[in-house]
Amino acid sequence: MPVEVRRSARRTRTVAAFWENGTAVVAIPARFTVAQEREWVHRMLEKLHRQGAKRSRQGKKQPATDAALAAHAADLSARYFGGRAVPTSVRWVSNQNSRWGSATPSEGTIRLSDKLRPMPQWVIDYVLLHELAHLLVAGHNAAFWKLLEAYPDTMRAKAFLEGVSFATGRGL
C-alpha cells in the first residue's frame, strides 16, 4: 500500500490520515522529527485499517474509499453540470463537526463529513453536488442555487439534513 507523508507548516498540533486515490496520506506538522513521523505514520495507518474494517462489517453501500468518492463526484458532475466541476481531490474526513461538507474552490478540493456515511445515497449525492457547485460558483447566490435545481432531490435532501441537525442539536 503506498503511503505519502505531507508535512505542513500550518499544521502545528494535529495529525490526520485519509485515503486519496488509493494512497494513504498522513498529514503531520512540519516540525516533527523523523522518529515522531515514523510513530505517527504507524498509528494513523492502523487507524485507517480499523476504519476500513469497521465499514466493511457495517456493509456500507456508499463510496467507501476516497477514490470511489472521487469517481462518484466525477459521475455527478458529468450528469448534472456537464462535467464542468472538476475537483482535484474528493475525500471523506472525520474532523468536520459543524458542516456536512466543504469545498476550497481555489484548490479544487472537496471534503465530506464521515457523519454522512449512514445517510441515504440521495442525501450524500446532494451534499457532493452542493460542494461541486461551489467549484463553479462561490457563495450561495442565485447562480449557485440555479445549478442545484438540476438535482431532483435538492429540497428533500436539504430538509432531511435540517431534520438531522435539529434532532442532533436536541439530543434526540
Q: Where do the structural domains in the chain lie, given as residue ranges?
A: 3-58, 66-169
- Biggest alpha carbon distance in the chain? 52
Looking at residue 36, the DSSP 8-state letter turns out to be H
* Fold that domain 66-169 belongs to in CATH: Zincin-like (3.30.2010)
Cell numbers placing 149: 435545481
Report pLDDT for 53: 53
| Torsion sign over Cα 67, 35, 28, 5 | negative
Bigger pLDDT: 130 vs 14: 130
pLDDT at 54: 53
Q: Dihedrals φ, ψ of 136, to 5°?
A: -100, -35
Return the pLDDT at 56. Answer: 46
pLDDT for 1 equals 61
Return the percentage of the chain with pLDDT > 90, whole number: 58
| Residue of 22 and 163 predicted with greater confidence | 163
| Average pLDDT score over residue span 67-73 | 89
**Residue tagged 457563495 (cell numbers):** 139
pLDDT at 75 over 80: yes
Beta sheet of 109-113, edge-to-edge order: 89-93, 109-113, 101-104
Residues in the chain: 172
- Read off the pTM: 0.65
